[in-house]
Amino acid sequence: MATTAVDMRGSLDTGHRRVILASSLGTVFEWYDFYLYGSLAALIGKHFFSGLNETSQFIFALLAFAAGFAVRPFGAIVFGRLGDLIGRKYTFLITIVIMGLSTFFVGLLPNYAQIGAAAPTILIALRLLQGLALGGEYGGAATYVAEHAPNGKRGLYTSFIQITATFGLFLSLLVILGTRMGLGDKTFDDWGWRIPFLVSSLLLAVSVYIRMQLQESPVFKQMKAEGKQSKAPLTEAFGHWSNLKLVILALLGATAGQAVVWYTGQFYALYFLTQSLKIDGTTANLLIAAALAIGTPFFVLFGWLSDRIGRKTIVLAGCLLAALTYFPIFKGLTHFGNPAIETAAATSPVKVIADPNGCSFQFDPVGKTKFTSSCDVAKSALAKKGIPYSNVTAEPGAVASVKIGDQSISSFEGGSLDSKAFAEQGKAFGTQLSTALKAAGYPEKADPAQRNDVMLVVLLAILVIYVTMVYGPIAAWLVEMFPTRIRYTSMSLPYHIGNGWFGGFVPTIGFMLVAWKGDIYYGLWYPIIVAIGTFFIGLLFLRETKDVDIRG
């Protein structure tokens, strides 16, 4: 499909609109692939990390998910350099092939019971390949679309790229729900979860076909024809302080806050519904899907608005609003999602009374450490049940106890016990604990009759709207910060450090903090602190870019 040069003074012609749509559709499928793992993290933990205890299973499954995010900056460097050297089109054609094949092979991978430790090892390797590919994807798609757009409309046109990430998540949820409903929960949990990964092969074929139709960015072709192309994009982007300083400010003053708001509003919210509020997975996915359907048009709205009032104002306002309202919104999710937890916590609060010196940070990635102190036994039992609790300091050396309202249950020291005796005492303690918690009104699962789905969707939609505020204008803002010759490289790194490291670890860090403190809302402190930091750094040190000419 041939395209003509962009008239920077006017609108995109029909051919360019078609090109941008094709680019966006390809990105939908790529994000679909990546989000599958996030949506199925708890189930994947049971299949591939079954050698660990229950708490570590989920945390380590989240770490494997985050591993893909951890390598995204490296993918940004590798593919960003290629994009500035050989062009935008060919680079993100490569990334989608790597991404699609990695996802397909996850669907074929034997589990821990079949091949032992090789299963999680290969899984993490595939996640790393996915992360590398995604590290090169976003910068290419955003740069490609922005370089086609006329001045005054870059926010609007790049906002369609932002929508594709949510569409990818939305599509993955629909495929998961359709498969689960078609096969039933037990079959889906046993092997049916592999089908959405295998379906990605069809999506990959469509995506490759679509991207093969694209032509190179006219701005890049013009730069290349004029001989202004960078011969060392990495050196120019990161070896010169003037540009490196801008890369650092783009990270801390824009993408870090954008990322934590994004992942809190979608992934952490989903995990909170299922892990903390004990809402069944199908219902939680439907609630998130409904919120996404409501919130998605706001990507375009805020992209369009950023062309008029600026990118910086909208992104930073989204960070500030999120930081100020996360606690009441998530407490509202508890109130409308599982009010029994809220009532029980108010009338019969759970307290762990223990010597702090006997309490460990219970994270065991290899499943070898035994947490046998009375404090660890008590906290582990509560964490497995998803029960919120507070910590009370006991006398040094005292045996820990769990106080539920007025009732107190003593834990036990397991260090001197053999495995059989420890298991027997642990079972007896767990039975006592379950009986007391049930009597105090703590539910094992959320009661559908007490759930207010309308209010849950409203609150989740507000979280999604925050996502659209920070994410809708971010592509245009980043593209406009950097010159054409090193744009792909320069914008990709802060974006993927922000989203890969600051954002990708939100679920992991959040639930590790919850497991540590016992407060189901404690994990929110991480995104709140990062979002506030971004607000002030962006406000003080980053400029508005909506009126710049990106052809330079």
For residue 293, the one-letter residue type is: A
pLDDT band at 531 (very low <50, low <70, confident <90, very high): very high
Tell me if 550 is assigned to some domain: no
CA gap 372, 377 in Å, rounded: 6
- Name 287's Cβ contacts closer than 8 Å, sequence gap at least 6: 273, 279, 453, 456, 457, 460
The mean pLDDT of 176-199, rounded to a whole number, is: 89
Lowest mean pLDDT: which of 330-339, 377-386, 471-480? 377-386
Q: Tell me whether strands 390-393 and 350-354 are parallel, antiparallel or unpaired.
A: parallel
Tell me if 9 is assigned to some domain: no
Lowest mean pLDDT: which of 35-39, 75-79, 248-252? 35-39
CA gap 295, 162 in Å, rounded: 12
**pLDDT per residue over 274-299, tens digit each?**
888 999 888 998 898 899 889 989 99
**pLDDT per residue over 422-449, tens digit each?**
888 989 998 999 999 999 999 988 999 9
Instruction: Tell me, yes or no, whether 480 and 358 share the same domain.
Output: no
Instruction: Tell me, yes or no, whether 46 and 60 share the same domain.
Output: yes
The encoded tokens of residue 15 equal 């051919």
Instruction: Tell me, yes or no, whether 259 and 278 share the same domain.
Output: yes
φ and ψ of 392, to 5 deg: -125, 135
**pLDDT per residue over 218-276, tens digit each?**
666 666 666 666 677 778 778 889 889 999 999 999 999 999 999 999 889 988 998 88
The whole domain housing 196 covers 14-338+448-541
pLDDT band at 18 (very low <50, low <70, confident <90, very high): low
Q: Tell me whether strands 401-404 and 390-393 are parallel, antiparallel or unpaired.
A: unpaired
CATH number of the domain within which 409 lies: 3.40.30
Last residue of a domain, one of 388, 409, 439: 439
CA gap 481, 471 in Å, rounded: 16
CA gap 16, 215 in Å, rounded: 10
The encoded tokens of residue 2 equal 């041939």
The mean pLDDT of 329-348, rounded to a whole number, is: 94
Instruction: Tell me, yes or no, whether 120 and 262 share the same domain.
Output: yes
Lowest mean pLDDT: which of 138-142, 323-327, 541-545? 138-142
The pLDDT of residue 2? 37
Tokens 């032509």, residue located? 215
Instruction: Tell me, yes or no, whether 359 and 304 share the same domain.
Output: no
Instruction: Tell me, yes or no, whether 231 and 154 share the same domain.
Output: yes
Instruction: Tell me, yes or no, whether 369 and 333 share the same domain.
Output: no
Burial of 265 (0-12, 13-18, 19+ CB in 10 A): buried
Considering only CA atoms, which of 433, 336, 423 is closest in space to residue 383? 433
The pLDDT of residue 223? 65
Are the beta carbons of 442 and 344 closer than 8 angstroms? Answer: yes
Are the beta carbons of 269 and 463 closer than 8 angstroms? Answer: yes
Tokens 């769990």, residue located? 402
Tell me if 300 is assigned to some domain: yes
Tell me if 7 is assigned to some domain: no
pLDDT band at 52 (very low <50, low <70, confident <90, very high): low
CATH number of the domain within which 178 lies: 1.20.1250.20
Instruction: Tell me, yes or no, whether 372 and 470 share the same domain.
Output: no
Question: What sign for the dihedral angle of Cα 73, 162, 528, 521?
Answer: negative
Instruction: Tell me, yes or no, whether 136 and 215 share the same domain.
Output: yes
For residue 161, the one-letter residue type is: I
| Averaged pLDDT score across all residues of the chain | 84
The pLDDT of residue 261? 97
Tell me if 434 is assigned to some domain: yes
- Name 116's Cβ contacts closer than 8 Å, sequence gap at least 6: 51
Last residue of a domain, one of 397, 417, 439: 439
Tell me if 548 is assigned to some domain: no
The mean pLDDT of 451-457, rounded to a whole number, is: 96
Instruction: Tell me, yes or no, whether 296 and 349 share the same domain.
Output: no
CA gap 144, 20 in Å, rounded: 8
Helices (H), 71-153: 72-86, 88-108, 112-115, 118-148
**pLDDT per residue over 120-170, tens digit each?**
888 888 888 888 888 877 777 777 788 777 788 889 888 888 787 778 877
Instruction: Tell me, yes or no, whether 358 and 296 share the same domain.
Output: no
Last residue of a domain, one of 400, 418, 439: 439
Instruction: Tell me, yes or no, whether 314 and 179 share the same domain.
Output: yes
Question: What sign for the dihedral angle of Cα 187, 188, 189, 194?
Answer: positive
The pLDDT of residue 10? 41
The pLDDT of residue 9? 42
The mean pLDDT of 51-63, rounded to a whole number, is: 66
Instruction: Give the global pTM.
Output: 0.83
CA gap 374, 354 in Å, rounded: 8
- Name 87's Cβ contacts closer than 8 Å, sequence gap at least 6: 216, 217, 220, 224
Tell me if 4 is assigned to some domain: no
CA gap 57, 47 in Å, rounded: 9
Are the beta carbons of 333 and 456 closer than 8 angstroms? Answer: yes
Q: Which residue has the higher pLDDT, 398 or 23?
A: 398
For residue 334, the one-letter residue type is: T
Tell me if 551 is assigned to some domain: no
Could you give the number of structural domains in the chain?
A: 2
For residue 281, the one-letter residue type is: G
Considering only CA atoms, which of 302, 226, 236, 199 is closest in space to residue 84? 236
